[in-house]
Structure 1
Amino acid sequence: MRFPSAIVALLTACAMSVVTALVPGSATAAAAFGPLAPPNPFMAPQGLASMHNDAGSADAGPLPGPGANFVPIFAYPLLAACPSITQGTDGLVVALCTTIVDQSPTVHLIDPGGFLPRVVPLASLPVAKGGLLGGVYAYLDDNNELVMIDGTNHLLHIAHAQDAKGHWQLIITDSTDVSSAIPPGDQSVGVVPDYLGNVWFASGSGVVGVVKAGGAVASVQLPAGERVANSISAAPTNRVAVATTFALYEINLDGGGNPQILWRQPYDRGPGRKPGQLSWGTGSTPTYFGPTTGADYLTIVDNADPIVHALVYESGTGNLVCQQPVLTKGGPGSENSPIGVGNTMFIASTYGYPYPAVPPDAGPAVPPTAPFLGGMTRVDVDNPGCHTVWDSNVRSAALPHLSTGDGLIYTITRFGFDNTTPADIFSFAVLDPNNGQVILQQPKSASILSDPIQTACMVLMGNRIMQGNITGIGRIG
């Protein structure tokens, strides 16, 4: 059992004021982890282009954050949960949010502002409701246009511009019908460009498709019964990774320009959907990472019971590099994509997290509920094999982000009893990736309305973080 929230908050504030005096802002800068994958030329700048930062879903980026310092925190109330936050070369933020009332997607254009930000969006654009909780995955391209597939199965490019009076607008500049590849009643889940500019997508029923230059659409159907519940990733080799509720795949285009399966690796999907996960199977968007190209390996976390594992495969061959038990000090399950860079992975637990809703086809959780214990593990790849560097019980309430610019992990932590309540406190947290120690926790809210519900902690330009939550976005720094 953890201390009551009020006591924890008081202890945290006192302890962290001492820690901050001892630890400078760039303090604990970690040794270089290894290369990130080369930037995808068809996406916004590295680290800013999607929920998982880049085409390979590294959940890491080169921009430094605010460091281990107390910083101002502001709220953008949008009456929507905001899982996908991106930033273009013009510095404006484009966020894909899901409204609280009917779980329909809305694109917001936001000025992250100066010391006192403008908290009202510059422009907003509702789009047709899609699959996963209304539609959560999108990316920003090299023209600062948001790319997504809406509920009518059209691939949209959404630009932002000012009209003659200086008012900002969000404008659909291109719409490609991909319904020829997606069966009736099915909808897109994830979307990513490869390094040639082809736009790949995956649907809930296991269709993997591609929109090629000129608008031609081609697809391949994965085995019946396998569903896709997370986004997809792309490597500089023009391979695409897709995790279903049964197996991990790597896919590319054959000589005729049609998607083909390079390899399939099944994993232990466990006895059922675990509490704190949104599907029965891995909760991972596959992560490309590696010490040579930045995309040598591919990893997910399985759904085994009672202990889950980080599974690492060679990109291109599918050979298993290692299978390492993780989250042994916390809850045995994760809905989050692993952080991956160089030879290193970081996995955060979501087991027992109280999501306000799950997809209608998610099925019952086994067990129905569980305490949210948290937990995070660092695993380093030795090839052959891998080993655990540290295993902690930090209660990360957000998808963590590793900044290779300052060598720190950023997230939001949750304080309260193991069985979560609306009285829990959320704090901005900074971790040392070398040992897993929390070096700063700044209480930011005692309201359940700021619950980040495991959405991504996005490090933006100007040493700032924008964090989605259940009712909008928070700016940290």
Structure 2
Amino acid sequence: MRLRTVRVFPAALTLATVTALCAPATAAHGAASGFGPLPPQNPATAANGTATMHGDSASSDTTSYPGPGSGTVHWSRTALASACPTVVIGSDRLPVALCTTIFGQTPTVHLLDPGTGADLASLALPKGSLFGGVYAYLDNTDALVVVDGDDNLLRIGHHLTAGAWTLTVDQSTPLAASLPSGDNIVGLSPGWDGRVWFATAGGVIGTADTSTGAVRTIHTGEGVENSISTVPGHTAVATDHALYLLTDTADGTPTVEWRAPYDRGPGRKPGQLSWGTGATPSFFGPGDGTEYVTITDNAAPHENLLVYRVAGGPTPVCTTPVLTQYAASGTEDAVIASGSSVFVTDTYGYPYPALPAGAPASVPASAPFEGGLSRVDLNPGGEGCHPVWNSNVKSAALPRLSLADGKIYTFTVSGPTDSVGAQTFASYSYATVDPATGTQLSSSWIGLGLLYNPLQMTGTTGPDGRLYQGTETGVLRVTSG
């Protein structure tokens, strides 16, 4: 049975109302799940689990907050005529969504009401590339840090004035003078020293000090199409040829600690947006959550999970094919990485409605979308790894693992999914998965067609247990029954 909430849109939402609506949920930090720990809390971001598209600056795709659970759920939809890949939540518990409009592909920031999902305020930004205006993070003052289409590094704050919410650019740091003409910034993440790391589609990696305006860069000569990740002393960037681990000098100049080339395959696979890895690097580990870093390659027919010891250099400690329950596999999703476990989502054959400019033809030209998940664990001692399970759960979103309640949260799809037009008749459901076995624990039907298509984007659970899932046309809000 589908239970749908009634959306009531107040004229304004006060901070007192937010506090009343958002009673705190207990976060067990891995006690319920057996996974973890969380990566270190980045002092420059909002709380882990809600600070970035992938939860934290390490891109673990885990959260310390319990989600809506496997029972009855209620849901509502905020229509924004935009695809919304990033929903982040700060200390005031107000969700901030970074979306791209369907018509015009304009990046737009939205402030949402946590009680109803209503759009309280919006701010359009200068348009850049398809990947520009996608990756962002919420800083420790609850400001959204994002790069606009003019390559300005912005801090966008939300403010309540005379009973009305507004979004304003509170700080702007120009970066264009440090970039080649026509290049654009794709990923960004804060370091522990206060600088902001960034990477461009053309392979420039740099740091920016927003207090002084100083920018330092190096050039890899390789393309970047995913976000980047940071832990204390280290930054990971995946290009379309290799994984880079970097640090910076006293003046902020990036320095390569090691470079690990990977098998990029014969071409862009169907269900991917670029030729190379589709994964943002993820730091994880059973000790402090930073001992290892992982990506997937683009090998054919099956991609491999690659795990590296951060202190061990460019030779992987784990190389294993994943999603082998199908004839071929590939992913455009980051992995879930926690403790000694990594979970990989299959997007092979998934039909995206748009590709980046200049994206090469896929090899093969098309393939059916079968979906599925794999779990791989590091061996005791951290050398080598082994598959734990393969699951046929057909995930249409990038899943997230709750360390508080021990469940993987995602949205699944059934019906016709092998072309963009056929997705009009696809059926989407909220689902939970057991990380121990890969078994689907629950499924709650949401709706049909592009209004509900999560586009392989990830959901974010707030400290109140509400799950926000971006879709092709807006944001779904799911709460427990």
TM above 0.5, one fold?
yes
Query: Residue 228 of structure 1 is aligned with which of 224, 235, 238?
Result: 224
Question: Is the alpha carbon distance of 1:256 and 1:447 closer, same or farther for their aligned partners in structure 2, counting shifts above 3 Å?
Answer: closer
Counterpart residue number, 2:347:
350
DSSP 3-state at the match of 2:451:
helix
Counterpart residue number, 2:20:
none
Question: Is the alpha carbon distance of 1:133 and 1:233 closer, same or farther for their aligned partners in structure 2, counting shifts above 3 Å?
Answer: closer
Counterpart residue number, 2:297:
302
Equivalent-residue separation in structure 2 for 1:457 and 1:392 (angstroms): 20
Q: Check conservation: 2:95, 2:112, Cα contact below 8 A.
A: yes
Counterpart residue number, 1:291:
286
Query: Residue 328 of structure 1 is aligned with which of 308, 324, 340?
Result: 324
Question: Is the alpha carbon distance of 1:118 and 1:273 closer, same or farther for their aligned partners in structure 2, counting shifts above 3 Å?
Answer: closer
Query: Residue 240 of structure 1 is aligned with which of 225, 232, 235?
Result: 235
Equivalent-residue separation in structure 2 for 1:402 and 1:369 (angstroms): 31
Q: Map residues 79-94 of structure 1 onto 2, 5 A cutoff.
A: 79-94=81-96
Point out where structure 1 has 5 or more consecutive residues left out of the alignment: 1-8, 11-25
Equivalent-residue separation in structure 2 for 1:366 and 1:469 (angstroms): 27
Point out where structure 2 has 5 or more consecutive residues left out of the alignment: 3-27
Equivalent-residue separation in structure 2 for 1:343 and 1:305 (angstroms): 26
Q: Check conservation: 2:132, 2:186, Cα contact below 8 A.
A: no
TM superposition shift of 1:293: 1.4
Counterpart residue number, 1:473:
475
Counterpart residue number, 2:135:
137
Equivalent-residue separation in structure 2 for 1:199 and 1:271 (angstroms): 34
Which residue type is aligned with residue 309 of structure 2? E
Tell which deviates more after alignment, 187-196 or 411-420. 411-420
Query: Residue 313 of structure 1 is aligned with which of 308, 311, 334?
Result: 308
**Is structure 2 residue 41 aligned with structure 1 residue 39?**
yes
Counterpart residue number, 1:21:
none
Equivalent-residue separation in structure 2 for 1:42 and 1:137 (angstroms): 16
TM superposition shift of 1:195: 1.5
**Is structure 2 residue 271 aligned with structure 1 residue 269?**
no
Normalising by structure 2, what TM-score?
A: 0.90
Please, what is the CA RMSD of the aligned residues?
1.7
Equivalent-residue separation in structure 1 for 2:473 and 2:244 (angstroms): 35
Q: Map residues 98-177 of structure 1 onto 2, 5 A cutoff.
A: 98-113=100-115, 117-119=116-118, 121-163=119-161, 165-177=162-174
DSSP 3-state at the match of 2:176:
coil
TM superposition shift of 1:47: 0.4
Q: Check conservation: 2:88, 2:138, Cα contact below 8 A.
A: yes
Equivalent-residue separation in structure 2 for 1:314 and 1:255 (angstroms): 25
Equivalent-residue separation in structure 1 for 2:401 and 2:86 (angstroms): 17
TM superposition shift of 1:118: 4.8
Counterpart residue number, 1:457:
459
DSSP 3-state at the match of 1:180:
helix
TM superposition shift of 1:284: 0.3
Q: Check conservation: 2:46, 2:91, Cα contact below 8 A.
A: yes
Counterpart residue number, 2:365:
368
Which residue type is aligned with residue 241 of structure 2? F
Q: Check conservation: 1:30, 1:433, Cα contact below 8 A.
A: no
Counterpart residue number, 1:415:
414
Equivalent-residue separation in structure 1 for 2:376 and 2:321 (angstroms): 9
Number of aligned residue pairs: give it: 445
Q: Check conservation: 2:416, 2:425, Cα contact below 8 A.
A: no
Which residue type is aligned with residue 137 of structure 2? Y
Which residue type is aligned with residue 84 of structure 2? C
**Is structure 2 residue 379 aligned with structure 1 residue 377?**
no
Runs (4+) of structure 1 exceeding 6 A deviation are none
Equivalent-residue separation in structure 2 for 1:414 and 1:167 (angstroms): 38
Q: Map residues 9-48 of structure 1 onto 2, 5 A cutoff.
A: 31-48=33-50
Which residue type is aligned with residue 351 of structure 2? P
**Is structure 2 residue 179 aligned with structure 1 residue 182?**
yes
Equivalent-residue separation in structure 2 for 1:247 and 1:429 (angstroms): 34
Tell which deviates more after alignment, 437-446 or 208-217. 208-217
Percent identity of paired positions between Structure 1 and Structure 2: 47
Equivalent-residue separation in structure 1 for 2:417 and 2:464 (angstroms): 36
**Is structure 2 residue 236 aligned with structure 1 residue 278?**
no
TM superposition shift of 1:258: 1.2
Q: Check conservation: 1:156, 1:175, Cα contact below 8 A.
A: yes
Question: Is the alpha carbon distance of 1:93 and 1:343 closer, same or farther for their aligned partners in structure 2, counting shifts above 3 Å?
Answer: same
Tell which deviates more after alignment, 318-327 or 342-351. 318-327
Counterpart residue number, 1:392:
391
Equivalent-residue separation in structure 2 for 1:292 and 1:207 (angstroms): 32
TM superposition shift of 1:133: 4.2
Equivalent-residue separation in structure 2 for 1:283 and 1:118 (angstroms): 30
Equivalent-residue separation in structure 1 for 2:287 and 2:98 (angstroms): 33
Counterpart residue number, 2:246:
251
TM superposition shift of 1:255: 4.2
